[in-house]
Amino acid sequence: LMDNSSDVTYLFMDGHVELQNYRYFYFIITLAVYLLIIFSNSVVIFVIYTNKPLHEPMYIFIAALLFNSLFGTTAIYPKLLSDFLSDRPVTSYSACLFQGFSSEFTLLSVMAFDRYVSICKPLQYATLVKMSTVKKLLFFCWFFPACEIGILIILTYQLQLCKFNLDRIYCNDYSIAKLSCGDTSVSSSYGLFGLILTVFPPLFFIIYSYVQIFEICFKNSKEFRRKALQTCFPHLFIFISFSFNSCFEVINTRLEGNIPHIVSVMVSIENLVIPPLINPIMYGLKLQDIYSKIKKMMWKRKTHMSF
């Protein structure tokens, strides 16, 4: 729908249609989940930031991953909440295009690099993972996906739309491209190329890192294996979870219209909820250094309030 007075294109988010009868219920649940995501991620980031012993590469990468979760949810949840309260959810074309940014895979790959060097090359760790290296890796983690997605946004924005009903609860470029009545071959080809470039190199690197880590673990003592796997488990669990979620989301997007609408909506919701909730829970509870600091902080707050 084109608003001639402002030349702004609006898209109707028809993914909410089957949720309208229970929209207030979904609003309350979504708000609770959003607040929990903000709280849990912020607590772990705050603990890492305020405790100097945690100012090490592994924890800095964890904080970056959690910040990425906060950024991603803030780009989607506020709009999602307002849509639940709307009789006909609608969003501007330009705002819709910017909901697809994610640097999760690149962050997970540099975290795998950190664990690989720490376990497989411990004597070289201080040399290979210096703070200057950490800064460069973090810059790459955000700059590369931003450039890749930025080009895709430009290509998608140039498409001429002939349909304005998006059968989703949030946007992605492939679904928007399907609304076009023009040639989408360039946008689709680049989107596929960008997806492969963003996912497969980090994926192969993470798998390679863990093959090397497991090989070293099985050659060492039981105590060494326990400590190594304890620090790797949260990252490995999050990587597997995020990979499955991403895979289901891609399949869901590509098969849009060929699977029941309510299933498509549920897959989309699950993709919004699970990753940003799992990250702080796994790192906050499974890594003893972070968990002990959180426990200490909560105990101090409880003691202070009792006084």
SS3 per-residue string spanning 40-86: HHHHHHHHHHHCHHHCCHHHHHHHHHHHHHHHHHHHHHHHHHHHHCC
Model pLDDT, residue 53:
87
Among the residue ranges 43-47, 72-76, 256-260, the one predicted with the least confidence is 256-260
E strands in the chain: 2-3, 8-13, 90-92, 165-166
In whole angstroms, what is the distance from residue 132 CA to residue 113 CA? 15
Contact 124, 254 (CB under 8 A): no
Higher pLDDT pick, 15 / 39: 39
Going by C-alpha positions, the residue among 135, 183, 194, 188 that lies closest to residue 159 is 183
The pTM of this model reads: 0.85
Give CATH for domain 2-306: 1.20.1070.10
Provide mean pLDDT across the span 163-187.
77
pLDDT tens figures, 48-78: 999 888 899 999 999 999 998 898 888 888 8
Q: What is the mean pLDDT of residues 168-178?
A: 76
In tens, the pLDDT along 97-147 reads 777 667 888 999 999 999 999 999 999 999 999 999 999 999 998 888 888
The angle subtended at Cα 64 by Cα 60 and Cα 65, nearest 5°, is 120
pLDDT of residue 105: 85
Amino acid at 181: C
Q: Residue 4's pLDDT is what?
A: 38
Alpha-carbon separation of residue 51 from 68, 160, 180, 235 (angstroms):
20, 52, 51, 21
**Does 35 score more than 80 pLDDT?**
yes
Give the pLDDT band (50/70/90) at residue 259: low
Q: Which of 55-69, 144-158, 169-183 has the lowest mean pLDDT?
A: 169-183
Q: What is the pLDDT of residue 6?
A: 41
pLDDT range class, residue 38, cuts 50, 70, 90: very high
The mean-pLDDT minimum among 50-54, 154-158, 207-211, 265-269 falls in: 265-269
Mean pLDDT rounded to a whole number for the chain: 81
CB atoms within 10 A of CB 181: 10
Residue 291's pLDDT band (cuts 50, 70, 90): confident
Average pLDDT over residues 236-252: 79
